[in-house]
Amino acid sequence: MTLTTSAFNLPEALTSKADPALITADEEHFAAIASSIGQSITDLSDRLVTERRKPGGTGQEAMDRDMEIHRLATRLRTLRRFGLDLCLGRMVGLDSSEPVYVGRLGLADRDGRRLLVDWRSPAAEPFFGATHANPMGLASRRRYRWTGGRVSDYWDEVFNPDGLEGHAALDDQSAFIASLGANRSDRMRDVLGTIQADQDAIIRAGSEGTLVVDGGPGTGKTVVALHRTAYLLYSDPRLGQRRGGVLFVGPHQPYLAYVSDVLPSLGEEGVQTCTLLDLVPEGAAAAAESDPEVARLKSSAGMVAAIEPAIRLYEEPPARSMMVETPWGDAVLTTEDWAEAFAAAEPGSPHNDARDQVWEALLAILTDKFRGSDDDDDFDADDDEENDEFDAYGLRPEVPVAPLRRWLTQNPDLVRAFGRAWPVLEASDIVGALWEVPAYLRRCAPWLTDHEVQMLQRRAPRAWTISDLPLLDAARQRLGDPEAALRKRRHEAAVAAERARMSDVVEHLIATDDSEMGVMQMLRGQDLRDALVDDAALPAADHDALAGPFAHILVDEAQELTDAEWQMLLLRCPSRSFTIVGDRAQARHGFTESWQERLERVGLNRIDLASLSINYRTPEEVMAEAEPVIRAVIPDANVPISIRRSGVPVVHGATSDLESILETWLAEHTDGTACVIGDPSYHATSRVRSLTPELAKGLEFDLVVVVDAGAFGSGIEGGVDRYVAMTRATRQLVILSGDDRTGAGEGSAGG
C-alpha cells in the first residue's frame, strides 16, 4: 500500500485546516503507515498460506494451528478493511514534541519504530481519558474523521499553552459535537475515535466482580458495552478463547443486527453474541405469558430452584430389593446396594451423564456378589482368553467376567428396574410435568399456595412461553444432554476400532521391515501407536457454543431481566464476572430497588456502580419533550443531560399525516434512517423501519415517528414505552395522535 495522493480530502469550508503547517507531519506519518500496512498484508498473506499447508495435527497441536490461523486471518481482514483508517488520532505529551498516533491495532515499521499504538493499550489511555480538568500529561490531542479512506475533517484539543506550538486547528470539541448528528444507517456507526473520557473509564475498568453501567438514553451504554468487550479480550488473559471467552447478551434480534459490525471492526470476531431467547432451543417459538400473575410467579429465582428437587425425585434409590438371576447363580440386589450405586454419581455431574456412573457401580456390586460362586457349569473354555481380566474384578477364574457383564447388561429385569430408578430425562419432561401434575409442583415448590399451584397448571403443558425458558434452561443444565452418553459411547467405539486398525497396520509394517536397523520396531511403543490415531477426525459430540462456561458476560438493557432470567446467566459464569448495562428508568415493569439490591438478591456480589449522565445522542428539543413523560411515572428517573441542539422542533400531528411526513422527509434526505414506532400496519422499507417500542430499545434513527402513543398503555409500562420510543431520535421527533387536537403546525417534518 503506497500513498499516491494526499491523505487529506478536506472540503472548501475547511480550507484553513489544509494549511501545510498543520498537516505535513501527519502526511509523512500516514505515508509510513501505508507502507507498513502494505508490507504487513504481504507478510500475513504468506504466513497464512504456510500455516494452512501445515498438517492438521491432533490435540493441542491442532488447536494451536487453528488459533494461529484465526489470529492471522483476523488481523489481515482488519488491515485490508481499514487501511489508513486504522489511525484514530494523535496526542502530544507535555514532555515530548513527538506525537503518538493511536490506532485500532498496534503497528510498527520494519525497523521497529512504533507507528500506531493499539487503542486498548495503557499508552493510548490519555487519548480517550484526557479532559481539561485532568489532561493526563497531554499538551494536545487530534482526532480524525475518515470518509472513503481519506481525512474529511479533524479537530484539535489543547490542554496546555504548549499545545499551540504544534499549530493546532482550534475548534476544540465543536467538530465532535457536530459528528454526533451525522446520518444513521442500519448498522451502528463507527464511534471508536469519539469515545469520551467518562465512557473510556468504564471500558478500561477491571473484570473482577460485577460492574454496573447505569445511564439514560443516548449516554453511550451500548458503545461502552461493545468496546469494553474488545478491551477485556485484549487486556485480560483470563478471557481469551482458551480461558472461557466472553458472552455478549443483547435485548433482541434487531439490536444484535444493528451492532453486528462493531466487534469485527475492533478485530474481535470470536465473541459469542445472543439474546436470552437464544440460550434455550425452545426460545425461538416461545410466546409471551398471557397472564401477568403467572409471569410474576415464574419470574422468581425460587421457581428456578424448584428444578433441583424435581430432578432429585428421579435419583432416589428403590425402596425394594430384587433378585438377579444369571447362569452362574442368583444374587439379591438390596436397597443398600442400590443406595451405594446411586452414591457413586460424581458430585456436580448432570443427571443423564451420571447415569453411566451409577450403572457401572451397580454392575460392579453385582459382579462382586458372585465372588466365591462354585457354579461354573456354564463356563465356556472359549472365554479363557478373557481370564487376564479376572484379577481386576476380584473374581475366581471359573466365573468369567466378560460373559457375566454381558449377561447383566442384557438382563431385561435389571435393565428395566434401573431405567425406572434412574431414567433418562428431558428438560421438557421435567418442566412440562410441573404444569401438568399439581402434586408434583406442590412437592417441588412447597411455598406455593394451592391457588398458585392451580394457576400454574395448563392444558398444553409444553406450549412454551418466554417465562418458561429459565426453568427449561435450568433443567437442561442440570440434566445434561440425554444423547451425550450415546455419542460418547459411539466415539469411544470409533476410537477403539481405529486403534485396532492402526495396530494391524503397525504389525504389518514391523513384519515387512527389512531395513538393517529395524526402524519400524520403534512403532511397538504404545505412545507412538496412540499418536497415529486422530481422535479429532472421529465422530464426537456437537458443542453448544452458548452453554458456557464463560469467563465474563456482558448484558445490555439488563434492567429488563427477571430474577429467573438472571439464573440463566449465572449458570454460565461461575466466576461471577459481569458487566451489566442498563437504565432503571427504562424498565418496562418497574425497577424500584437499587442495582445493588437487585443483583445481590439474584446471587451476584462485589458490585461496583458507574453512572453515565451525558446524553450524546438525543437533541435537547427531544429530551425536553421526553423528560416529563418519564417523570410522570418515575419521578426520580436518571434523565441524562443533552449536550447539543438539532435546531429542529418536535412536531405534533395526526396519524393521517404519516405517509406525507415520511414522503417529505425521504425526498429531503437522501441519507439516514427513520423509524415508525407504534403502527403495526405500516410496512417497513429499506430506509424506514416499523417497530414496537420494545424492539426499538437500544436503536437510534435520524427521524422517529411515534404513532398513537396513548395506545402504549398506562402506568409504568406505558410511560416507559413512550419514553423509549421518543428518545430513539437523533435529529427529529414527530408525535402523531388519532386526531389533530395538538396541531401539526409547530414545525415541519422535513426540517
Binding positions: 215-222
Determine the Cα–Cα distance for residues 742 and 727; give it in Å rounded to an integer.
20
Read off the amino acid at residue 700. E
- Put residue 518 in one of left, alpha, beta given phi > 0 → left and psi -120 to 50 → alpha: left
Residues forming beta bridges with residue 730, ordered by sequence position: none
Determine the Cα–Cα distance for residues 527 and 336; give it in Å rounded to an integer.
42
Question: How far is residue 614 from each of residues 97, 196, 643, 732, measured CA to CA in Å?
Answer: 33, 10, 7, 19
Q: For 34-62, give the DSSP string.
A: HHHHHHHHHHHHHHHHHHHHS---SHHHH
Q: For 516-531, give the DSSP string.
A: TT-GGGGGGSHHHHHH
Determine the Cα–Cα distance for residues 531 and 453; give it in Å rounded to an integer.
58
At 7, list the grid cell: 491523505
Question: How many Cβ atoms from other residues are within 10 Å of residue 251's Cβ?
Answer: 23
Question: How far is residue 399 from each of residues 337, 361, 415, measured CA to CA in Å?
Answer: 21, 19, 22
Angle (nearest 5°) at CA 25 between 19 and 30:
110
Question: How far is residue 26 from each of residues 6, 18, 146, 664, measured CA to CA in Å?
Answer: 10, 11, 14, 43
Residues forming beta bridges with residue 609, ordered by sequence position: 212
Alpha helices in 457-552 (DSSP H): 469-479, 484-511, 526-531
Contact 396, 430 (CB under 8 A): no
The length of the chain in residues reads 751
Provide the pairing of β-strand 150-158 with 138-147.
antiparallel
- What is the maximum span of the chain, computed from C-alpha positions, in angstroms? 107
Q: What is the DSSP letter of 8?
A: B
Question: How far is residue 451 from each of residues 306, 411, 448, measured CA to CA in Å?
Answer: 17, 46, 8
At 513, list the grid cell: 521391515
Contact 41, 79 (CB under 8 A): yes
**What sign does the CA torsion over 256, 259, 261, 262 have?**
negative
Give the DSSP H/E element, type plus range, for residue 80. helix 59-82
Determine the Cα–Cα distance for residues 235 and 227; give it in Å rounded to an integer.
12
Contact 435, 441 (CB under 8 A): yes
Q: Is residue 582 helix, strand or coil?
A: strand
With a CB cutoff of 8 Å and minimum separation 6, the contacts of 34 are: 1, 2, 3, 83, 84
Question: 715-726 and 620-631 helices cross at what angle (nearest 10)?
Answer: 180
With a CB cutoff of 8 Å and minimum separation 6, the contacts of 563 are: 299, 300, 301, 601, 602
Contact 332, 321 (CB under 8 A): yes
| Dihedral Cα 94, 99, 101, 107, nearest 10 deg | -120
Residues within the annotated binding site for ATP? 215-222
Q: Is residue 124 helix, strand or coil?
A: helix
